[in-house]
Amino acid sequence: MKPDEHETSSTAWSITPDEPVSVLAIGLNHRTAPLGLLEQMTIDESHQPKALTDLMGRENISEAVVLSTCNRIEVYAFAETFHGAFQNVRDFLSETAHVPPERFSDALYVHYEADAVSHLFAVTSGLDSAVLGEHEIQGQVRNAWEAARLEGTCGTTLNALFRHAVEVGKRARSETGISHHITSVSHAAVALAGERLGGLVGRRMMVLGAGDMGGGMAAGLANSGVGEVVVANRTADRAAELARRVGGRSVGLDELAAELVAVDVLLTSTGASSMILEHCDVAGIMARRGHRPLLIVDVAVPRDVDPTAGNLDGVTLLDMDDLRAFADRGLQERRAESERVRNIIGHEVNRYMDYSSAREAAPLVAALRSRAEILRREELDRHGGGLSPAEREAAEAATRRVVNKLLHEPTVRLKQAAGSPRGDRLAEALRDLFDL
C-alpha cells in the first residue's frame, strides 16, 4: 500500500502487528479518490444497519461508525490491534462495494489515536469538505453516529468521541467565519447553475430528490427570483411537502420525463443506488425539446444521470467534480478562517485526549486505591483493638495519610502516561505487583 502523503498518518505503518490501538479512522474521500471510485464505494442509508453489523462481526473491532457522504466513505473504529483492524476494515470495504482492494488501496488513508480524533474534528468542522466550511457535514456526522447507536455498534469510546466532534463543529461555526458565504453543497449547486446561465431569474427549475440535499437546493432557489420550482421525488408526500415550503409544485417520478421537456435546469441529488436517467432517457427528452439547451447539475453520489448524457447536443451536465472546482475559486474568502478553526481543533483534540487518558486510567487507579484501603483497614483492625476512640481516630487519619502519600506519585504517573506504550507498561506492572 502507498499511503497518501496528505491523508495518511506517516507513522501508522511503524506499529507492531499486535500493538494495542484505540481509535482508527480509515477511508477514502474526494481528495484521494476519483468520483467514479467513490460512487462504487459509497454505502447508502438503507444498507448502513447491515454494514455496521458486518463490521462488528470482524475479529479486531469492538465499536464502529460508518460515515458515507457524497465526498467520503469512512469507518471509525475502536480497535484491538492496528494491523488486524486495518485488514478488517479494508476487507469490509472491498466486500461491501464488490471492489478488489488493489483498486482502492492507493486512495485509502489511515489515522489513529490523536490523528484520528483530529481528522474527525476537521471533517465535522467542514475543513475537509469540497465546499470549505459546509454545514451539511455536521448533520451527516450526527446521523452516522445515531445510526451506529441504534444498531448498538457505538460504545463508550466512540460515543464520547462523536459527541465531542459535534460540539467542535458547533464551536467552529459559532466562533469563526468559516460558515459564511456559500457553505453547503446544495447552495453551491444552485450558485454553480446561476453562474453557468448568467443568473436564474425567470428560469424554470426542477429539483430531483426531497432529502436534505434536495431540500437545501430547493431552499436556495426560493429567494433567487426563479420562474418556477418543480420538485420530483420517489415519495410523493415528501415532494409535496418540500414544494409547499418553497412555493413550488410537486410531481411523481413517472412524470419526470414530461416535466424535463419544459424546464431550463435540473438539480439532482437523490439517495438512489442506481441511475435514474440513462443516456437514452435524456436523448428522448432532448428530442422532444427540439434540442433546446438543458443544464443538469448532478451532485448525487452515486450519480443520478448517466455521465455520457453530457455528450448530447444541448446538454450541459455538471457533477461533483465541477462543483469542487467551482467551490475552490471561492476559497480565498474563508482561508483566513481555516487557521482559526484549526487552532480550535488543536485545543479540542488535546482536551479530548486528556479526558480519554484519564478515563482509561481511572478504573486501575480506583482498583489500586481500593486494594490499599482494604489492606489498611485489615491491619488497623488487627492491631487497633485496644485503642481508645480518640486513638483509633488518630490512627485512622495517620494511616490514611500514609497510603495517600504512597499512592500519589504512582497515580499521577499512571494518569499522565495513560494511552501510551509507557502507560501500558506501568499499568501492567501495577496489576502484577498488587494483584489487581
What tens-digit pLDDT sequence spans the chain (436 residues)?
A: 333 333 434 334 444 444 445 799 999 999 999 999 999 999 988 899 999 999 999 988 999 999 999 899 999 999 877 888 999 999 999 999 999 999 999 999 999 889 999 999 999 999 998 888 888 899 999 999 999 999 999 988 899 999 999 999 999 999 988 877 666 889 889 999 999 999 999 999 999 999 989 999 999 898 788 999 999 999 999 999 999 999 999 999 999 999 999 999 999 999 888 899 999 999 999 999 998 999 999 999 999 999 999 999 999 999 999 998 888 776 665 677 888 999 999 999 988 887 776 666 667 777 788 888 888 888 888 887 788 888 888 888 888 888 888 888 887 777 767 666 677 677 777 777 777 7
Predicted TM-score of the model (pTM): 0.71
Count of residues in the chain: 436
Cβ proximity of 81 and 17 under 8 Å:
yes
The catalytic residue positions are 70
DSSP secondary structure of 94-130: HHHHT--HHHHGGG-EEEETHHHHHHHHHHHHTTTSS
C-alpha triplet 243, 245, 250: angle, nearest 5°: 10
Query: How far is 129 from 137, CA to CA, in rounded Å?
Result: 8
Q: Which three cell numbers stand for residue 282?
A: 435524456
What CA–CA distance (Å, rounded) separates 216 from 415?
46
Q: Are 215 and 185 in contact (CB under 8 A)?
A: no
**Neighbouring residues of 10: CB distance < 8 A, sequence distance ≥ 6:** 3
DSSP string, 218-257: HHHHHTTT-SEEEEEESSHHHHHHHHHHHT-EEEEGGGHH
Sheet arrangement for strand 249-252: 249-252, 228-233, 204-208, 265-268, 294-298, 315-318
Q: Give Dmax over CA atoms of the chain in angstroms.
A: 109
Which amino acid makes up residue 42? T
